[in-house]
Amino acid sequence: MTQADAYAYAGNAKIVRTSQYSNDTITVQGSIPIANVQFANADNVLIKQRNDGTCKSTPSLDQGILGLSPFESTSKVPSFRENLFTAGAILSRTMTMWFNAHPGPLGTLTGGTLFGAIDRSKFTGDLVRVPNAIKQYQVGFYVPKPVMNINGVIVESTVDTNCLVDSGAHADAIPIPYGEEEKAFFAQTGLIEYIGMVAYNGTCDSIPADFNIDYTFAGVKDKENITIKMPLRNYARGHEVLDPSWTGGDICVLNLETGSSCLFGAPFASAAFLAFDDADQSIAFAQGGVSDEGSGLDDLVVIGMGETFDSV
């Protein structure tokens, strides 16, 4: 099928243009083949990445993009989640995502996702609905900013903003505005500023396993909330010290930024169990990062027609 579309990611660092759609069978590890899944076939892709002095014939990332964004009823572009539902492969428009417990040594984190089902062994405590605070001009899932407790220190934020939940974003951004409030943030927490990013004063391996950032979100129900304990080590994703003038000794540059915006991306997803329902645009959080690496689906519940993740 011919239809021109364009997709832009990461502040236009990745631009994908397509002129045709096609249907094919997709096989994902741990699932049966799913027939008649619609794809956008890219005929022009622009990917910008840091120049390391060599000329590469192919980019080192993004060999493909699987669209898992919320389904927009007014959109005509392919939606993987909606494809599964309309094809009858799943009975609900739900998706859950989790990561396993941090293995200890810094490196690869593993996890999984389920469509139309939930595995209750992948989180601990309650699964709590949080408000979807999306505004009319926005696309995606937005939640009100949380209360932040960094290693036992309550951090205040004067920024009036909501927070985008985007598991595809490489870093989290917390609403600590530049200036005096940011200076107070670093003074209170013992963290340091490094060219616009947050860093730990020491090597990444030296970050204590119990150094956490607690994000507490208000729930939809009155007097209900959910606290996600985010290990600071989960923000250590191999970011290098690139400033040749840096003389501050060993530091660990974190995938965490400050500023006037708020974003919970891939690092946050490594500690939070995420649940989305396209039927009513709802979102729920629970404490993730608890299951063993390589563990199977130990408490699986299929979500039936008319049900959602908190009704099973």
Which tens digits make up the pLDDT trace of 73-95?
A: 666 666 788 888 888 889 999 99
Confidence of residue 221 (pLDDT cuts 50, 70, 90): very high
Domain range list for the chain: 2-65, 94-302
Neighbours of 62 (CB within 10 A): 13
Confidence of residue 2 (pLDDT cuts 50, 70, 90): low
What tokens does 38 get?
């619609």
Mean pLDDT taken over the chain: 84
Residue 103, pLDDT score: 79
Q: What are phi and psi of 118, to 5 degrees?
A: -145, 140
Give the CA distances from residue 110 to residues 92, 125, 291, in Å, rounded to whole numbers and listed in that order: 25, 21, 10
Cβ(157)–Cβ(148) below 8 Å: yes
pTM, 2 dp: 0.86
Vertex 8, ends 85 and 42: CA angle to 5°?
Answer: 70
Class of domain 94-302: mainly beta
Residues 297/298/299/301 CA torsion (nearest 10 deg): 30
Confidence of residue 256 (pLDDT cuts 50, 70, 90): very high
Confidence of residue 17 (pLDDT cuts 50, 70, 90): confident
Condensed to tens digits (0 to 9), the pLDDT of residues 89-112 reads 899 999 999 999 887 777 788 888
Is pLDDT above 80 for 311? no
Condensed to tens digits (0 to 9), the pLDDT of residues 141-178 reads 899 999 999 988 898 889 999 999 988 888 899 999 99
Kindly report the three-state secondary structure assignment for every residue of the chain.
Answer: CEEEEEEEECCCCEEEEEEEEEEEEECCCCCCCEEEEEEEEEEEEEECCCCCCCCCCCCCCCCCCCCCCCCCCCCCCCCHHHHHHHCCCCCCCEEEEEECCCCCCCCCCCEEEEECEEEHHHCEEEEEEECCCCCCCCCCEEEECCEEEECCEEECCCCCCEEEECCCCCCEEECCCCCHHHHHHHHHHCCEEECCEEEECCCHHHCCCCCEEEEEEECCCCCCEEEEEEEHHHHCCCECCCCCCCCCCCCEEEEEEECCCCEECHHHHCCEEEEEECCCCEEEEEECCCCCCCCCCCCEEECCCCCCCCCC
Report the alpha-carbon distance of residue 127 to residue 146 in Å, rounded. 16
What tokens does 286 get?
């629970």
Is the alpha carbon torsion for 282, 175, 105, 126 positive or negative?
A: negative
Condensed to tens digits (0 to 9), the pLDDT of residues 24-69 reads 888 876 677 888 887 777 777 777 666 666 666 565 554 555 556 6
Neighbours of 25 (CB within 10 A): 9
